Amino acid sequence: MKVLILTEKPFAPAAVAGIREILEGAGHEVATLEKYTERAQALEAVKDANALIIRSDKVDAEVMAAAPELKIVVRAGAGYDNVDLAAATERGIVVMNTPGQNANAVAELVFGMLVFGVRQFFTGKAGSELLGKRLGILAFGNVGRNVARIAKGFGMDVWAYDAYCPAEAIEAAGVHAAASQAELFAECDVISLHIPATAETKGSINGALCGTMKKGAILVNTARKEVIDEASLLALMQERTDLRYLTDIKPDADADFAAKCEGRYFATPKKMGAQTAEANVNAGLAAARQICGYFADGCTKFQVNK
């Protein structure tokens, strides 16, 4: 089978080498299209692919239509909001993710951004410390759990809320379960977002919710751009000049945030939470193994469009 690694944001070379080794060892052919700049390049590259390994690359009905031989798409990562699941299901294409494989990388970046933020973006001004501060983790999945583990090392008071995870499971991880999302936002010094972008969550982190945050609170977003209601958050941050926003996903209104919230806003130039060699290897090799398993035995363990 022909497997195309379609990555606008490329994997580390070690990950590509490992993916090749696994797939070629199982008799598959591997092609790559990395750092592409035009959608047309992707449409051309997928035309004879039987399988795709992607990251945040958009795989919609048009891409699938350009790939008549496509049988499986594996998103090497957690969030699969970039894949049109309904279109895939209609075509009988299996879509999988590789849950947990890049979670530690994202969690570590949360603290990289937080330390940078509380230390006044390394300008030399006196900042503050994380020790003793209360961290609220919104969604207690693989990334949220890693964030909790690292936060304990900083001596933070760790809280979490997850609409789909029972409070007992959160408490079992040694984390205080907030009663609601509202309580989490109102009671914590730092909120770290780990929710996927779904119909339910898009735009849910808005000015009204963030307006309940404590004085001097910090919002950290390593999840998705779409979960933020940018207009109302921006308006709130102009009113509440004590709030800070640190994000790994540049908002559409990046220039406005940067101009109007100077010294309280930071966005990475490109989403880099999962951009470590380790995460690339973990997620990339898992994707390769899942493709081998699917073609060899029909294994659909990580299928997300069942």
3-state secondary structure the chain: CEEEEEECCCCCHHHHHHHHHHHHHCCCEEEEEECCCCHHHHHHHHHHCCEEEECCCCECHHHHHCCCCCCEEEECCCCCCCECHHHHHHHCCEEEECCCCCHHHHHHHHHHHHHHHHCHHHCCCCCCCCCCCEEEEECCCHHHHHHHHHHHHCCCEEEEECCCCCHHHHHHCCCEECCCHHHHHHHCCEEEECCCCCCCCCCCECHHHHCCCCCCCEEEECCCHHHECHHHHHHHHHHCCCCEEEECCCCCCHHHHHHHCCCCEEECCCCCCCCCHHHHHHHHHHHHHHHHHHHHHCCCCCECCC
- Closest to ligand 3PG by CB, 78 vs 158, is 78
Closest approach of Cβ 37 to ligand 3PG, in Å? 16
The gap from C-alpha 248 to its chain's centroid, in whole angstroms, comes to 9
- Closest to ligand 3PG by CB, 77 vs 136, is 77
Determine the Cα–Cα distance for residues 133 and 145; give it in Å rounded to an integer.
18
Closest approach of Cβ 286 to ligand 3PG, in Å? 11
Determine the Cα–Cα distance for residues 148 and 125; give it in Å rounded to an integer.
28
Closest approach of Cβ 92 to ligand 3PG, in Å? 24
* 8 Å CB contact between 87 and 81: no
Among candidate residues 46, 49, 14, the one with its CA nearest the CA of residue 29: 49
Closest approach of Cβ 102 to ligand 3PG, in Å? 5
Closest approach of Cβ 146 to ligand 3PG, in Å? 13
Residue whose CB is nearest to ligand 3PG in the complex, by number: 77
- Closest to ligand 3PG by CB, 56 vs 181, is 56
- Closest to ligand 3PG by CB, 102 vs 146, is 102
- Closest to ligand 3PG by CB, 1 vs 193, is 193
Closest approach of Cβ 100 to ligand 3PG, in Å? 10
* 8 Å CB contact between 46 and 31: no
- Closest to ligand 3PG by CB, 55 vs 134, is 55
- Closest to ligand 3PG by CB, 11 vs 295, is 11
- Closest to ligand 3PG by CB, 237 vs 274, is 274
Closest approach of Cβ 55 to ligand 3PG, in Å? 3
User: Residue numbers of the site for ligand 3PG (CB under 6 A)?
Assistant: 9, 55-56, 77-79, 102, 271, 273-275
Closest approach of Cβ 159 to ligand 3PG, in Å? 23
Closest approach of Cβ 260 to ligand 3PG, in Å? 27
Q: How far apart are the first and last CA of the chain?
A: 22
- Closest to ligand 3PG by CB, 100 vs 216, is 100
